[in-house]
Structure 1
Amino acid sequence: MSDIETVGLGFYWEDLPVGRKFKTVGRTVTEADVVAFVSCTGMLEVLFINTEFQKHESAIQGRVAPGALAYTFAEGLLVQATMQGTGFAFLHMEMDIKGPTHVGDTVHVECEVIECRESKSRPGFGLVRTRNRVVNQNGDVVLVYTPLRMVKGRGGAH
């Protein structure tokens, strides 16, 4: 039925003026997440796979997750909430890991649009840069990154 609205679709670039802020729902990092992530990426560093090293030699206490896992969780939360059907390309980013993410932490993303303009090279699309702060349940910022994305416009670009 074409007269039924589809929910969960992404923002168009015109919906993202500079200064707009929003946040995602949270997601808890589990032991299974860390094991699966380090296994599938090959990040088999002792910091992530050796509990004796973690207990006795690591400078970071507790069961820590790779910063790359925190980043990919943030991207997953954002894709689900803001880019379904409208996200076109991930073009660039700068990233700064501010602190550790541990098993048991619940993270969410606080997003602020810091640049938004129509694409000159791709009519019907816009370029949107956001400042994404990955925040844990204690309010600690564990990661900040600034992706530049190409986003579909309302004009029906394909």
Structure 2
Amino acid sequence: MQTPASTITPGSPIVEAATRLRDEGIGSLVVERNGESVGIITESDIVAVTAEEGDTRKLTVADVMATALVTISPDANLEVAVDRLRTHGIKKLPVVEDGELVGIVTTTDISRYVPHITRPELSREPHPERRRFTRPDTLYEDDDWEFDSYGVADGIDVGDHVRFSKTLSENDIERFAEVSGDTNRLHLDAEFAEGSRFGRRIAHGTLVSGIISAALARLPGLTIYLSQELSYRGPVDIGDRVTAHCEVVEQLKENRFRLATAVDDGDGNCVVEGDAVVISDPIPDSA
């Protein structure tokens, strides 16, 4: 779990909640009244509000928050957490001990550990034994890159997972700036960056999250992006080694899947988290 969990009061303006989600780089706020957890408000709730007609800025957290709060205790095992998230169709579980909020756990947090435990609750049918794929269907590899990909024999399935690591070098930053056109001085000008909230140059957020795409390319089959939801939780230093983790958590259609995705920095801190939806096609016969 992440601790402490960020909280807000029911009477707070919805604008305050949106500002905190943005500035703190988090995806939710647990709503507390007099020390008691009474609800939760998420990025999705904020997006839904902004799409409504009228002066939504006058709304308070109480007008928007989910009051059917689903929680879990800190000593619950991961199978229970996964089952609770899936059963209630949610992505975040406040962790409560003796009536006190002590943290929060998300689908991304759990995805880093779930590959190492049995997960029958994620599928009605037993999965064939997974194997490690040592050759991805990529055009080339690099000595600096590392990956582990586990899946079934043909295509991907719920429970498959992949990890990809690389170092974000000075050359990567400069090349990404040139190719993307994102020449923000925060990434390129050390003197300028010293005056920022970070006090130093940092890697482009989109470059960091792009490591997720590199991981997906190393799943069995031909993986095609349909969507990616992301939350940026912290900066990444230039020269840091980042690791993307992807876990197939749900089959949406015959060949469409939802994945929990995350990127960790070199110290193991989660700097990007979110969900992706992909199509998994067979490798073309000509490959």
TM over 0.5: same fold?
Answer: yes
- C-alpha distance in 2 between matches for 1:49 and 1:103: 10
- Alignment partner of 1:133 out of 234, 258, 262: 262
Q: Deviations over 1:30-76 (max 9, x none)?
A: 11100110111111112112211112x11113330011000112212
CA gap 1:86/1:72 in 2 versus in 1, 3 angstroms: same
After superposition, give the CA deviation of every residue in 1:78-118 in whole Å (9 maximum; x if it has no partner).
31x215x422x311121101111111211111222221143
Give the distance between the partners of 2:225 and 2:164, measured in 1 at CA. 22
- Would you say 1:63 and 2:191 are equivalent positions? no
Cα distance in 1, alignment partners of residues 173 and 197 from structure 2: 18
State yes or no: 1:92 paired with 2:220. no
Two-structure CA RMSD over aligned residues (Å): 2.5
**Count of equivalent residues:** 137
Match 1:82 to one of 212, 215, 219:
219
Q: Which has the higher contact order (CA 8 A, sep 6+)?
A: 1
SS in 2 for 1:112: strand
The whole-number CA distance in structure 2 between the counterparts of 1:92 and 1:100 is 23
Distance between the aligned counterparts of 2:274 and 2:229, measured in 1? 5
Is the CA contact 1:22–1:112 (under 8 Å) kept in the aligned structure 2? yes
Please list every run of 5 or more consecutive structure 1 residues that lacks an aligned counterpart in the other structure: 1-5, 120-125
Aligned residue type for 2:187 = F
Please list every run of at least 4 consecutive aligned residues from structure 1 whose deviation after the TM superposition is greater than 3 angstroms. Answer: 9-13
> Could you tell me which residue of structure 2 aligns to residue 146 of structure 1?
275
| Aligned: 1:8 with 2:143 | no
Task: Judge conservation of contact 1:109–1:135 (CA < 8 Å) in 2.
Answer: yes
Secondary structure of 1:133 counterpart? strand
Counterpart secondary structure, 1:25? strand
What TM-score does the superposition give when structure 2 sets the normalisation length? Answer: 0.43
Structure 1 length-normalised TM: 0.75
* Aligned partner of 1:73 among 211, 214, 218: 211
Provide the rounded CA distance (Å) in 2 between the counterparts of 1:50 and 1:65.
12
What is residue 181 of structure 2 aligned with on the other side?
A: 42
For residues 41 and 22 of structure 1, the distance between their equivalents in structure 2, rounded to whole angstroms, comes to 29
Q: Return the alpha-carbon distance in structure 1 between the equivalents of residues 160 and 271 of structure 2.
A: 18
